[in-house]
Amino acid sequence: MTSATLPLSLIPTRMPARVAKLAKTRAIPSPAVASDEELMARLQAGDERALEQLMQRYQSPLYGFLTRRVGSAADDVFQETWIRIVRARERFDLERRFAAWLYQIANNLCRDRYRRVGAMRRAVDSFRSEDETLREASTLPEPGEGDAMRERVLALPERLREVLVLRYYEDLGEEEMARVLGVPRGTIKSRLHAAVKALRASLASESDASGGKQR
């Protein structure tokens, strides 16, 4: 995957006092690797290099997350996620964990995409009987190529797929997942249980089908 190129103007016209103070205290060169939150402080202060470092740091994990969520649409959502990060940079709370904020934005974009796809499918279905020429428009892009497990995850309902990916692929805790998805922690627990159960059922069904073919 090629790195996303964003046509950005990152220098703010007015720097908030708290950001200026934090950026100043962290401007001293240090051999230590900057944290995500330190890079966000620099980005808020207008440092484009901070954005480049964040994108490089999260390119692989974020792209993997998006591939499991939206398949072949990952490229578009990846770039849109970073555009949203830049646009909302000054609203980021530096006391918050950046990774949770990043995945919240990315996951919301995935949800938006599925809503648009669902609306398009419904519109096509409603007109199909009147105009057979719309039949081709109802065929949506297939998920990108990948292993069988990823395809099974993509086949899960949206509410189950998102918790499964955040927990077992991105290693977010239940509290962080609750913040990302905007639901109570108890809901996270129940959805995780349902997601694992559905995935196991999918694996068992495929195993039974394979055994039947062999017999």
Q: Which residue segment(s) compose the domain that 105 sits in?
A: 35-141
- Same domain membership, residue 133 and residue 62: yes
Please state the rounded mean pLDDT for residues 74-99: 93
* DSSP string for residues in 81-125: HHHHHHHTGGG--TTS-HHHHHHHHHHHHHHHHHHHHHHHHHHHH
Percent of the chain with pLDDT over 70: 66
Averaged pLDDT of the chain: 74
pLDDT for 119 beyond 50:
no
Please give the C-alpha separations between residue 145 and each of 9, 81, 109, in angstroms, as whole numbers.
Answer: 35, 22, 21
Minimum mean pLDDT range among 31-35, 83-87, 128-132, 161-165: 128-132
For residue 215, what pLDDT is reported? 54
Number of domains in the chain: 2
d(CA 46, CA 24): 12
Instruction: Evaluate whether residue 165 is within a structural domain.
Output: yes
Query: What token pair was written down for 17?
Result: 């006092």
Q: Quick one: average pLDDT of 132-156? A: 53
213 pLDDT more than 70: no
Q: Is the dihedral of CA 7, 11, 13, 17 positive or negative?
A: positive
- pLDDT (average), residues 41-68: 93
**Whether residue 177 sits in one domain with residue 136:** no
